Structure 1
Amino acid sequence: MRILVATDAWHPQVNGVVRTLTALQRSAAKFGTEIVFLSPDGFTTVPLPTYPDLRVALPNPAEIARRIEAAQPDAIHIATEGPIGFSVRRYCRRRGLPFTTSFMTKFPEYVSARFRLPEAASYWLLRRFHAAARVTMASTASLMSELRGHGFRKLGLWTRGVDTDLFTPKARLPLDLPRPIFLNVGRIAVEKNLAAFLSLDLPGSKVVIGEGPQLPELKSRFPDAHFLGAMEGERLAGHIAAADVFVFPSLTDTFGIVQLEALASGVPVAAFPVTGPRDVVGGTGVGVLDDDLAAACRGALAIPRQACRDFALTRSWDRSAHQFVRNMGHALIRPATMRAAA
């Protein structure tokens, strides 16, 4: 089976959406499913407002149609609600083709955090976007419950996984910093709530890996913290494994793959009891969730590293890919229908 995935987020971006889609393609191929992407590649792009390092595509409808018809997919999935996502949705609606979507980013909360706009208006728009899909995939049971509360229907679970060969305790690098080391990895932006972590009264060292628009402000406000910049691959894995606690202060992430990457590295998680952390580590004994984030950080220090590793070994990308493909079974395109559309 060939599945076309439309996405506005793509390389060279480094984020959960891109990592999820890349892992999906790799894992689905193992059981005979081909994932091809309709991405911003080849389109004119412009900087995203307030995120100059991120660019969004300005897709041409004729080129969107050409790419879809050239791919001849058995099913179409729209991963993001950006210009490409809207263009592919319009193509499918006009031709009566079924498709699925995924809710991968809490845009209403992000927009509210950055522009002080009401979340209700954003959820109204997103609800309309996803209502036409055969299935809207969400990464956790908590997120599915939240979306139902916002009026979303036809929801399906598509969880996330982790590369346990790359993220492993064996990758640990020697960091010459006072212990314990409390680490965060991700985009440095207001919606990630990093100030809640960096303002904590904790022993040892606070380390942040990543880049983003809030970096200059946080460097100025928290001069004692260590900002190491963006990392990927083995270097990132080595730094994560070197930490004592992974601190995840976000209140808006739908999942937070970095939590699984930390756990696979033998590093326990400290977070608020919200969607994402609640589903990844809640009640498992490999993290501490508390409205008092400092108490969560101190409590996580007592968690055995091997318990974190053992837990992560049960969360594979192959399992995630099987869930995705099963959901796609609700939106298969009949060959005759696709030929007529072409």
Structure 2
Amino acid sequence: MKLALITDAWLPQTNGVVTTLRAVCNELNAIGHSVETFTPDLFRNWPCPGYPEIRLALGCGPKLRTRLDRFEPDAIHIATEGPLGLTARRYCKQRGLPFTSSFHTRFAEYIHLRTGLPLSVGYAYLRWFHSESVRVMAATPALLEELKARGFKNPVLWSRGVDTELFRPRSKDFLPDAHPVMLYVGRVAIEKNIEAFLELDIPGTKYVVGDGPQRQELERKYPEVHFVGYKYGEELARYLAAADVFVFPSRTDTFGLVMLEALASGVPVAAFPVEGPKDVILSRRVGCLDEYLKKAITEALQLDPEDCRRYALQYSWRDCALQFERYLARIPKNGPRSAAWWQRSS
């Protein structure tokens, strides 16, 4: 099968969406499929205001249409709702081609936090965007039910995986600081609610691994916290494994893949009892969820790292990719492909 995967979220971004899409592409290619990614770096692109690592492929229509026509995919998946995703949606609709999509990020909430745009407006756009999709893939049962309640059509559950070879228990000596070491990994931005963690008066050492528009502000406000920027691969795995507890303060994430990476490293999780953490931390043996984050951290420090590791071994990227494959909408081989207006006029 030839799969066209269209996504506005791609390298150099570092987040769960990019990690998931790259892992699924690798697994699908490994089992014999041909996956072509259509990402911002293939087109003229501009930095997103406030998020320079996010590139916006504005005006990508002609080149994207040409590339898709040349590739002749058997299935099309639109992963994001940005300029590339929007252009791909238009391409499929004009040609009468089925496609699937996925709901990764709460853009409505994020835009609301920054601009005050009502959530109803943001979700109206997202609902419209996914309305033509054969299936809308969502990461957790709670998110699935929420999308149904918000009027989304055909949402289906698409779980996640973790690289348990890279993320594994290692020496705690990598970070020579006072214990307990409390670690956050991810984007440093207002929607991640990091300050709920940093403001806690709790013995030990706090680390923030990641970067983003709020980093300079938080570094000035919390000089005792170690801000080390983005880390990748082996180095990231060492940071995670060296922690005593992984703190996930976000209230808006749809999943939180990094929680699985922490658990695979033998590190328990402390988080708020909200969607995302509630769908990942399904056992009290591997994490603590509490509205009092300090209490969650204190209790998580008492958990057994071996239980965390065993729990994470249940999640496989191969299973995630096979589930994704089953949900794809195949394009009929001998079905008509509607000519778009620019083809008809020429």
TM-score range, shorter chain: over 0.9
CA contact (8 A) 2:209 2:229 kept: yes
> Tell me, which stretches of 5 or more residues in structure 2 are unaligned?
none
Instruction: Give me the whole-angstrom Cα distance separating, in 2, the residues matched to 1:274 and 1:109.
Output: 14
Corresponding residue of 2:150: 150
Q: What corresponds to 1:128 in structure 2?
A: 128
1:334 equivalenced with 2:317 (yes/no) = no
Q: CA offsets, 1:227-267, max 9 Å, x none?
A: 11110010010010000000000011111110000000000
TM-aligned CA distance change 1:227 to 1:127, over 3 Å: same
CA distance in 2, matches of 1:334, 1:122: 33
Tell me how far apart the structure 1 counterparts of residues 333 and 284 of structure 2 sit (CA, whole Å). Answer: 45
Deviation at 1:206, TM superposition (A): 0.8
- Residue type of the partner of 2:162? V
Shift of 1:27: 1.3
**Alpha-carbon shift at residue 283 of structure 1 (Å):** 3.3
Contact 2:44 2:60 in 1 (8 A): no
Distance 1:183 1:282 in 2: 21
How many angstroms does 1:58 deviate by?
1.4
Residues 171 and 258 from structure 1, CA distance in 2 versus in 1: closer, same or farther, beyond 3 angstroms?
farther
Q: Deviations over 1:258-280 (max 9, x none)?
A: 00000000000000011110000
Query: In structure 2, how many angstroms separate the alpha carbons of the residues matched to 1:285 and 1:202?
Result: 22
Cα distance in 1, alignment partners of residues 332 and 173 from structure 2? 52
Q: What pairs with 1:191-206 in structure 2 (closer than 5 Å)?
A: 191-206=191-206
Following TM superposition, by how much is the alpha carbon of 1:89 offset from its aligned partner in structure 2, in angstroms? Answer: 0.2
Q: Give structure 1 stretches of 5+ with no counterpart.
A: none
Identity %: 50
* Cα contact 1:171–1:237 (8 A) shared by 2: no
Kindly report which structure 2 residues correspond to 1:216-255, keeping only aligned pairs within 5 A, or say none.
Answer: 216-255=216-255
Instruction: Say which is worse superposed, 131-140 or 111-120, in terms of deviation.
Output: 111-120
Conserved? CA contact 1:3–1:36, under 8 Å: yes
Q: Which amino acid aligns with 1:214?
A: Q
Aligned counterpart, 2:63: 63
Mapped to 1, the partners of 2:14 and 2:274 lie a distance apart of: 23
Would you say the 8 A contact 2:94–2:338 is kept in 1?
A: no
1:139/1:254 contact within 8 Å kept: yes
| TM, length-normalised to structure 2 | 0.95
Corresponding residue for residue 274 of structure 1? 274
Q: CA deviation at 1:49?
A: 2.0
For the residue of structure 2 that corresponds to 1:246, the secondary structure is strand
Other-structure match for 2:288: 288
SS of the residue corresponding to residue 203 of structure 1 reads coil
Contact 1:282/1:289, CA 8 A, preserved across alignment: no
Q: Secondary structure at the match of 1:228?
A: strand
Q: What's the CA shift for 1:41? A: 2.1
Matched to 2:332, the amino acid is: R
Counterparts of 1:55-204 in structure 2 under 5 Å?
55-170=55-170, 173-204=173-204
Report SS of the residue matched to 2:318.
Answer: helix
Distance 2:173 2:59 in 1: 43
**Does the CA contact (< 8 Å) of 1:8 and 1:82 recur in 2?**
yes
2:236 alignment partner AA: L
Question: Which range moved further: 8-17 or 317-326?
Answer: 8-17
| 1:323 match | 323
Q: How big is the alpha-carbon RMSD for the aligned residues of Structure 1 and Structure 2?
A: 1.5
Q: 1:76 to 1:173 in 2, by over 3 A?
A: farther
Aligned partner letter, 1:4: A
Instruction: Please tell me whether the aligned partners of residues 171 and 234 of structure 1 are also in contact (alpha carbons under 8 angstroms).
Output: no
Q: Does the 8 Å contact 2:190/2:214 carry over to 1?
A: yes
The AA in structure 2 aligned to 1:337 is G
2:95 aligned partner, one-letter code: R
Aligned-partner Cα distance in 1 for 2:130–2:94: 16
Paired AA for residue 176 in structure 1? P
CA contact (8 A) 2:181 2:206 kept: yes
Residue correspondence of structure 1 range 24-35 to structure 2 within 5 A: 24-35=24-35
- CA displacement 1:113-141 (0-9 Å, x = unmatched): 11222111100110011011000000000
Amino acid at match of 1:275: E
Task: Tell me the amino acid that sits aligned with residue 131 of structure 1.
Answer: S
CA distance in 1 between partners of 2:25 and 2:117 (Å) = 36
CA distance in 2, matches of 1:289, 1:178: 24
- Once the 2 structures are TM-superposed, how far is the Cα of residue 305 of structure 1 from its aligned partner? 0.3
So what's the TM-score if we normalise by structure 1? 0.96
Displacement of 1:183 in angstroms is: 0.3
Give SS of 1:166's match: coil
Deviations 1:72-118, CA, capped at 9 Å, x for gaps: 11100000000000000000001110000000000011111112221
The superposition leaves residues 4-46 of structure 1 with CA deviations (integer Å, 9 ceiling, x where unpaired) of 1100111122111111111001112233222211111231111
- Letter of the 2:288 counterpart: V
1:143 Cα shift? 0.7
CA contact 2:285–2:304 (8 Å) conserved in 1: no
